[in-house]
Structure formats: C-alpha cells, structure tokens
Amino acid sequence: MNRTLPVLLAVASLTLPAFSLRADDAKAVWMKKCALCHGADGSGKPAMKTKDYTKAEEQAKMKDEEILKAIQEGVPNSKMKGYAGKLSGDEIKALATFVRSLKK
C-alpha cells in the first residue's frame, strides 16, 4: 500500500476544521452570547426592547452592513455592546449570516 496516503489524510484532517466557521458554530455562539437578549429563536425580548428577527419586515429594515456593524461596534444608547475583540471577524460574519437565517 502507498504510504503517503495516510499521511495526506492526516494532514487534511488537521487543516480542514480551520477553514471556516459552520452554521452550527454560529448557532452555538448565539445561544451562549446573544439569546439572553434576543431570544433563542431571535424573536426578541420585550424587556430588552429587541426586535423580532423572525419577521420579514424587521429583516427588511436591516442592511447587511448594519447587522455587521451592530455586532462589531454595538448599537449606541442600547444594551447592545460591540463584540469586536471578543469574537473573531469570522465569528462575527457567521453571526450576521445567522441573524438572517432567523427569518421564518
């Protein structure tokens, strides 16, 4: 048997997970860091004055750049704090995509 194949497979398995953040990972971060104020399903919490991201109207009001900026820098005069420095750029991008996926 060719001996380079197992070596190649081992190298591939080491490098692959670093490629990109999967949707599952974004969901895990959401449940840990965001669900408290936005709800597990993104429908919002009245006490926090968060919007219902499961609604198409609320999704339509947000631009992609605004979602990214809100997660990076926070929303002024709200409880929404920025996550730049706490989460990686990839995590923030994955979360922005995840916020879009909350729409029902």
> How many other β-carbons are positioned within 10 Å of the β-carbon of residue 95?
23
For residue 28, the minimal CB distance to ligand HEC (Å) is 11
Residue 40: which residues within 8 A CB-CB, separation 6 or more?
31
Query: How large is the greatest C-alpha to C-alpha distance in the chain, in angstroms?
Result: 65
For residue 91, the minimal CB distance to ligand HEC (Å) is 8
- Report the site for ligand HEC in 18-77 (rule: CB under 6 A): 33-34, 36-38, 48-51, 62, 66-67, 70-71, 75
Asked if 37 and 79 touch (Cβ cutoff 8 Å), the reply is yes
Question: How far apart are alpha carbons 82 and 75 in whole angstroms?
Answer: 8
For residue 24, the minimal CB distance to ligand HEC (Å) is 15
Please, which residue, 10 or 47, has the CB nearer to ligand HEC?
A: 47
Contacts with ligand HEC, residue ranges (CB under 6 A): 33-34, 36-38, 48-51, 62, 66-67, 70-71, 75, 78-80, 83, 95, 99
